[in-house]
Structure 1
Amino acid sequence: NTGNSEKQANNGVNGLKTKVFDVLDTATINATFGAREDAIINALLIGDSDNIKNVASVFQKNTETEFFIITDINGKVNASAGIAVDKTDIKNNESVAAALSGKTVSTIESDIMQQLCAVSAAPIKNTKGEIMGAVVAGYTLINESIVDGLKSLYGTDFTVFEGNIRVNTTITKDGQRQIGTTLSNEVAEIVINQGKAYTGEAEILGSQYICSYLSLNNSDGDVIGVLFAGQPLTEAQALMFDALKTALIISIFAVIVILIETTVYLTKVMANPLKKVVKAAEDISEGDLNVSVKIKSNTEIGLLAKSFTDMAEKLRSLIRRVNESAVQITTASEEIASSSTALSQGAVEQAASVEQLSSSVDEIYTMTKSNSDMANNASKLSEKAKNKCVEGNTSMRELLTAMNDISLSSNRISKIIKVIDDIAFQTNILSLNAAVEAAQAGQYGKGFAVVADNVKQLASRSADAASEIAEMIEESNKISKNGSDMASVTAEKLSEVLDIINEMDSLIIKISGSSEEQTKGIAQINIGIGEISNVMQTNSAMSEESTASGIELSRQAKVLKEQVEAFKF
């Protein structure tokens, strides 16, 4: 299916990436050893150019490095073996510059050889550790053996891109490898510009492929190319169909084999043990419980046989217990019948006693109800006396209030009389003064003297009248006070009588309530006695039925015992 084809493409492109970096590791090893090769170091020390070229050629052939370059301290090419380098000065190459500064660098680049290569550069040092130059070892990635070997291993097409240009591929058209063709813009945007992997369908040179792309980065992390693995969609579908067909054939064959083996196994393992189980079942159905199915097996049949044996043993035990229970039931049923007869006779006697008790309770109920009625009448009379007492107490308090008001009025009149007496006294003094003035006036004052004398007499009579009234009011106050005191005492006595009547009324109410409760209680007792009487009659009937049931139970227990004895156990 498509998922498997995508998985195959992913595996292929990861295999191509691993192959590229294996080549880079080999270049790194060769550069490192070349920089430490004594022949190369001595040739540089001597400065013999022919000797330098000779040792470079020997090292390149011995290590099978595609190209091997030796430079001096200034980056000038002293020797080049394998694939020839067109440049004579490579000091500006980043890898060479790093090596001349004392570092060993490995990367993917296309600068030195003008084509995509796996390159490693290492510094050459003399015995003092001084840098004398650099060696560059590498392999081109356009070598067709790289992709052809992987295609035979993974079964997919492979391509190496420099930038977006195919420089090595297994994809052909009209028998020609499609070198120089470009990557689609959509995939280039994802893999080159965004640096992301891409897996899925893509159109390649007019054909649909299921493919996987990875970016190819240098040592600085910059994308300098793309790696591809994939297969045409029609080929993937054919492979899928072949895989399904093969899987189907294998599955059918496996099912046939399993069915044959299962049939043989079931015949051997199940048929014979099942016969033993059936025989045991027939014995049990005939009443023979002394069966035992002996099958040594942990299969379901073995478990069934063991369960059958256990069942027979439990049935034997059960029948034994049933037999024992039948004997016990026979004995117990006879005892029940005897006890039920005695219980029936006792119930009849108890019913007669209950009838007598019911008659006595009826008499008590009548007396209690009469007491309750009399208590209710007493409560009503007490309530009337209480009301009259309350009315008398209220009238007495009103009388007491009126007498207090009279006393207050008398006090006010006394004050007024005192004022009149004071006025009479002042008038008398004024009349005396007027008489003196009239005497001094002589003839002219006679008429005024007569008036003054009349005023004096009037003032004297007013004073006498005021004195008499004051005495009468004082006597009236004394009488009023005595009456008020007597009214207060009478009111207190009436209040005490009212309290006593209230207590009597409360007691009478309680007595009346208790009598009513007793009446209700006795009525309930009477009902209960009636129910007891009914129960006793029912018990008597049930006792008779129990006697009959006990006799029947005894008969059935004997029948059960006879049936149990039919089993062999």
Structure 2
Amino acid sequence: MKCSINFKLMSLVILAVSLISVSIVAISSYSALENMKFASRQSNEEIAQLLTKQFAGNIYFKRTDRMVKSFEEFAEDSNFHFAYGAAVRLDGTTIAENSLFDNLPELASKLGQKAITSGEQYLTLQVGSIDLVAVPAVFGKDQRIVGALVMGWDQTTNTEVAIDSAIETAMFTMGIALVSLLVLSVLLKIIVSNPISRLTSSVGDVAKHAIAGDLSKRVPEDFSDAGLMQVATSVNQLVETVDMGIKQTGDVLSAMAEADLTRRVEGDFQGAFARLKDDTNSVADHFSDIIGRLRHTSTLLRSASGGIRSSSEDLSSRTEMQAASVEETASAIEEITSTVKTSALNAEEAGRVVEKTISSAEHSGKVVGDAVEAMSLIEKSSTEIEKIIGVIDEISFQTNLLALNAGVEAARAGDAGRGFAVVAQEVRELAQRSTNAAKEIKGLIMTSGEQVKEGVRLVNETGRALETIGSDIQLVSEHVNSIVNASREQASGLQEINVAINEIDERTQKNVSMVENTNSASVILSQEVSNINNMLNVFEVTGSAKIENHQEDELVEETVLTAEVYVAPPQRVQKITPNVQSKRNPSPVHELTQKVAHAFDGNAAVNEDAWEQF
């Protein structure tokens, strides 16, 4: 529960007065008690000294009964507050004693002996509420110590009396304090509480209206107290400063809300309000600068998005063309692959035909060998026939000679030998015809021999030609096998190239799709940047944050030109030329083309730069 300042002030006053009263009562009571104790102790010491002077002779002469009687009288006297009495000699023996408490004799004996030996005028000891006083007893002309008298007084009654007196004093003091509190409360209410209550009520009303957003209320400045007047003036100055700061800050924020970034907070402020002014103006300046930069950036983005859009459209067109080229290339390579496969099959068939030809040539060689051998035999037979014909020619010659001799002998015989002469003439004609026939046969055989020799020569040449043909056919077979292997490698390489081209085609199609998406995104980006630029143009800024229309057009033109610089022109695949090497690492397509080139024995080397451009 919250208390009013009047209640708190009165509580503080009551507490202060109560503390002061209690302190006064406590101090006075303690002082009175201490004074009473001191006076009582001093009185007891004086009484003890007087009694010692009286009892010195009794102690010296050991008049115990007198001292005991005196102690009893002291004990019977209630005003004397007697508690203990004893006479101690020099040897420490107690010759007379009277004690109302059991714990005092031993302590009193030690105190008496100490008083005798210490040489002090007296010694005191506080035992609870009992004050013990030991005084050395002197006797004689030389005033020598003969013993000591120990007396004890009970201070309980004196303490009670002092406490009662303190209570009475406290009650009187509290009464006076209560009256003083009542008077002081009335005076405080009139002099302090009412003005403070009016001030707090006014300040609360001003604060209430300030919380509600009304800063037009002020605290009345008609207080008689200078402090309250200063508080009222300070509150009014605070409200006025807050009102001015909030009003100007609100004006700036309202202008910013209406896209006017030229308004600033004016006026002379201090402390937190100066920081509020600086922060508000700084926010306006930064926001104006940000808007200006956003305008500049949006202009660049708009121009860049236009360049991106143009480049995307160009890239889309060139990508579509490239995709069509790749597709045509894939189809052409597929046809080449089919052709190479057919060539490989034809080469294999040619290889088989060459093998059959080699087999036929080998068989023909054998036949020619047999023919050469047969011709050799014919030549040998012709030689034998020629010898036989020679023999026949000699026989005909001998027969002719014999027929001639027979004719001579027949002529000698005359008519008797005429018949024998006719026979001899016939035999001679037969021999002549045989000789002629033998000569003709010999001529024919010689001609036949020459022809046989020529046939042998031709057959030998035919055999050598067949051998040459066989070796050439063997070489042709090797080349055909090489062609078959090369065709197979070509078919394999072209198949791999076909797969690679298909992958390139697929990726190119994906690139086409991505380029179309990029083109769509660039169109959307250009539209959104235009929207942002239109929204930013709503703001009115000052200073360097402004960008004029002609500057914006120049930025757009410059950015478009910059974008056009980076638009690469469409390139075509260059013609593949042999024996061109690349300094870069070979690509997979390049490796496949090298395989094909190797399959064609180096006649199909590929320009790697052309492949990269492809």
**TM class by shorter-chain length?**
under 0.3
| TM-score, scaled to structure 2 | 0.24
* Higher percent of residues as strand: 1
Structure 1-normalised TM-score? 0.26
Higher helix share: 2
